[in-house]
A and B are shown apart, each in its own frame.
Chain A
């Protein structure tokens, strides 16, 4: 739900509730006030009765009074029920159509020595009319008020939240590599000024941290490579000594290998961090078939060392992928094939299949005892195999970088790695990469 809709809905809800509650409350209140004022009138009239009664001396006077005053009804005390307080009754109106409400106040009087009840009545007909008019006007005002507040709220908020959405768009488009984006300046509101300032400060700090981290990685790598190189050179010079025994030579060879492993680990970690930082351009066109051929050529000796053969199956016409990075793509394919060579027995055949939508590398082998989700994790290795456990992690990182999808399957004794460049389902795989990767 959008922020704007959220507040608008709440405003609307509140205004409607207020209207609904206020109408009956207002009606009851108004009714009470009205009845109260009529009752006061009735009491005032009643208070004049004793002075009239005192004038009445004869039955003729009494009869005249009865006839003259229409609002009075005089009955002997035993023929009607007596009420202490004013009350309302409903009675047919004069023309006999609608029933009409009347307010009646009863008073006991003594006329010519006999007790009577005098009922003073007043029609409530006008009151009904008045309340109805007042309520109509009130309802009209309330509805106008409701529409007004909701409308004004909607349009004002739309304008007020604009800087917020600007900031949101800024954050969405934030790219750690390029820092040429500016937040638009359209702010008069203190809070948003502060928000934008903070966002901008944050992006500056993040960039600074990112750059110093990058610098650190490069420096660390450099600092590590030099002593490794010196070590290697010293060993190589040591090897040239004439009086070296075979055993010593072997030891030197072992040390050599360890140094190489360290170098490989170092450069692989550097590669991973560089891909994840998006430090590679991806505007090249990759000829997939050519790349696979180069890779199989490069790895032919490794395959040969295990008497394995690499069988390729290419679709026609040749497949090209736009906006990719050649070098990274080659590393990815090389890692997949190297992995296949490593995890299959001597003499087996590795199959590389290329179609318009995917590249598949298959090799026979025993199943991994690692789950297929974990296979792309860093430093996950099977049976202490050679390598540093970064190969498949690099494959996944490169695939993700290109928005490709890499998956692993094990079928009929065959490991299958499938790289798809056509997204399987369009919604899931094509997430925005720059931020997700960070």
Chain B
């Protein structure tokens, strides 16, 4: 799986690259529009992370060109602007997703996964780890072939952890993934603990894959 990051903030691009490379992703970085254009022409990517504010212009021009050339690369816009009009415009131009900075890398990872799944796996939309299988189309999970009844929240939680397999996911990132902006108003993380506890119980033998990292969050291994 190949990913292109078009981002002029080198520190930012490097962090994303570093984070994603721990998956099986192959990450390349383009620091400006010209370089990005060249790389898109030369190679095919599974997903392109495109910044809007670039020194020589808007990343959206690149998006327009991409759609004119009928390229099928998935595109996630990453932008410091979180204005609605930017979001709407980007999605109208054919972007698959829009993330406003600053986001969690775990969240980015989940969105990339979702796009790649949507584009290539189509009917075959299963994610598995040992005996645990998630069917993202049916939004269901099973352990050793036996279906488990998960609530919507538990399902989202499990998917999020599985996508970020092997990484420490903070309570913040989980809260933000599940609650969106209202996560800021949480008094404590008891609700996250409760849902993780329930999920672990429901997963039975596979429950031990979700490790609690003291003081920080969780890790799926």
Task: Kindly report which residue of chain A lies nearest to residue B51, judged by CB atoms.
Answer: A226
Is A236 in contact with B184, judged by CB distance below 8 angstroms? no
CB distance from A295 to the nearest CB of B (A): 10
Residues of B130-185 contacting chain A, CB below 8 A: 153, 167-168, 170-173, 176, 178-185
A328 (CB) vs chain B CBs: closest residue: B84
Q: Mark A265-296, 1 if CB is under 8 A from B, else 0.
A: 00100100010000010000000000000000
Contact check, A304 vs B172: say whether CB atoms are below 8 A apart.
no
Say whether, besides A236-B105, A341-B185, A230 and B191 are in contact (CB < 8 Å).
no
Q: Are B172 and A230 in contact (CB under 8 A)?
A: no
Q: Nearest chain B CB to A224's CB is how many angstroms away?
A: 8
Q: How far is the CA of A299 from the CA of B178 in the complex (A)?
A: 10
Q: Is B35's CB within 8 Å of the partner chain A?
A: no
| Stretch from B8-16, B58-66, B110-118, B201-209 contacting the other chain | B8-16
- Tell me if B94 is interfacial: C-beta within 8 Å of chain A: no
Interface mask (A332-356 → B, CB under 8 Å = 1, otherwise 0): 0010001001100000000000000
Do residues B102 and A240 form an inter-chain contact, with CB atoms below 8 A?
no
CB closest chain-B residue, reference A267 = B82
Residues of A234-261 whose CB lies within 8 A of B = 234, 236-237, 239-240, 244, 246-247, 249-250, 252-253, 256-257, 259-261
- Cβ distance B179 to chain A, nearest Cβ, rounded Å: 5
Closest Cβ of chain B: how far from A431's Cβ, in Å?
Answer: 26
| Given the contacts A226-B9, A229-B12, A298 and B182 also touching, CB distance less than 8 Å | yes
Contact of A233 with B15 in the complex, beta carbons under 8 Å: yes
Residue in contact with A237 in the complex, picked from B18, B103, B176, B180, CB distance below 8 Å? B18
Say yes or no: is B125 at the interface (Cβ < 8 Å to chain A). no
Which one of B22, B153, B182 has the highest number of Cβ atoms from chain A below 10 Å of its Cβ?
B182
Contacts of A274 in B (CB 8 A): 83
Minimal beta-carbon separation of A232 from chain B (angstroms): 4
- The segment from B25-33, B38-46, B211-219 that touches chain A is B211-219
Q: Does A386 lie at the interface of the complex (its beta carbon under 8 Å from any beta carbon of B)?
A: yes
State whether A301 touches B179 (Cβ < 8 A).
Answer: yes
Q: Is the CB of A302 within 8 A of B167?
A: no
CB-CB under 8 A for A302 and B186, given A229-B12, A230-B11, A231-B102: yes
B180 touches A298 (CB 8 A): yes
CB within 8 Å for A263 and B182 given contacts A221-B80, A306-B187:
no
Indicate whether A99 reaches chain B with its CB closer than 8 angstroms.
no
Report A279 CB to chain B, min CB distance, Å. 8
Question: Which residues in B have their C-beta under 8 angstroms from that of A338?
Answer: 182, 185
Residue interface mask B100-112, A partner, CB < 8 A = 1: 1111111000000
Contacting pair B81 A256 (CB below 8 A) = no
A267 contact set on B, CB distance < 8 A:
82, 100
Determine if B172 and A257 form an interchain contact, defined as CB atoms under 8 angstroms apart. yes
Interface-central residue, B16, B84, B180, B186, by most chain A CB under 10 Å: B84
Q: Are A237 and B215 in contact (CB under 8 A)?
A: no
Interface residues of B, CB < 8 Å — how many?
Answer: 47
Of the candidates A233, A250, A253, A261, the one whose C-beta lies within 8 Å of that of B16 is A233
For the complex, give the distance between the alpha carbons of A250 and B102 in Å: 20
Knowing A229-B12, A301-B178 are in contact, say whether A222-B216 is a contact too (CB < 8 A). no
Please judge, given known A-B contacts A230-B15, A261-B184, A306-B187, whether A218 and B22 are in contact too, CB under 8 Å.
no
For the complex, give the distance between the alpha carbons of A232 and B22 in Å: 18
In the complex, whether A228 has a CB less than 8 A from a CB of chain B is yes
Taking CB atoms, residues of chain A closer than 8 Å to B217 are 239, 249, 253
CA distance A306 to B188 in the complex (A): 10
Q: How far is the CB of A6 from chain B (nearest CB, A)?
A: 48
Instruction: Convert B1-24 into 0s and 1s, putting 1 for each residue whose CB lies closer than 8 angstroms to a CB of A.
Output: 000000001011001101100100
A305 within 8 Å of B by Cβ? yes
Q: Is A264 an interface residue (CB 8 A)?
A: yes
Q: Which residues of chain B are within 8 angstroms of A222 by Cβ–Cβ distance? A: 53, 80-81
Q: What is the minimal beta-carbon distance from A363 to any residue of chain B, in angstroms?
A: 14
Residues of A within 8 A of B173 (CB): 236
B80 near A229 (CB under 8 angstroms)?
Answer: yes
Give complex CA distance A249, B53 in Å: 33
Contact of A240 among B22, B81, B180 (CB under 8 A): B22
Q: CB < 8 Å: which of B19, B172, B188, B215 contacts A260?
A: B172
- How far, in angstroms, from A231 to B103 measured CA to CA in the complex? 11
Please measure, in the bound complex, the distance between the C-alpha atom of A270 and the C-alpha atom of B106, giving whole angstroms.
Answer: 26
**Which chain B residues have a beta carbon within 8 Å of chain A's beta carbons?**
9, 11-12, 15-16, 18-19, 22, 53, 80-84, 100-106, 153, 167-168, 170-173, 176, 178-188, 190-191, 213-217
Given contacts A233-B105, A298-B180, 20 further A-B contacts (CB under 8 A): A222-B80, A229-B12, A229-B80, A232-B102, A233-B11, A233-B15, A236-B19, A237-B15, A239-B168, A249-B216, A249-B217, A256-B170, A260-B184, A261-B184, A274-B83, A298-B182, A301-B179, A334-B182, A386-B185, A386-B187
Query: 6 closest pairs, A vs B, by CB?
Result: A249-B216, A233-B15, A225-B80, A246-B214, A250-B215, A229-B102
A-B contact pairs, 7 of them (CB 8 A): A222-B80, A225-B100, A229-B12, A236-B15, A240-B19, A253-B216, A256-B170
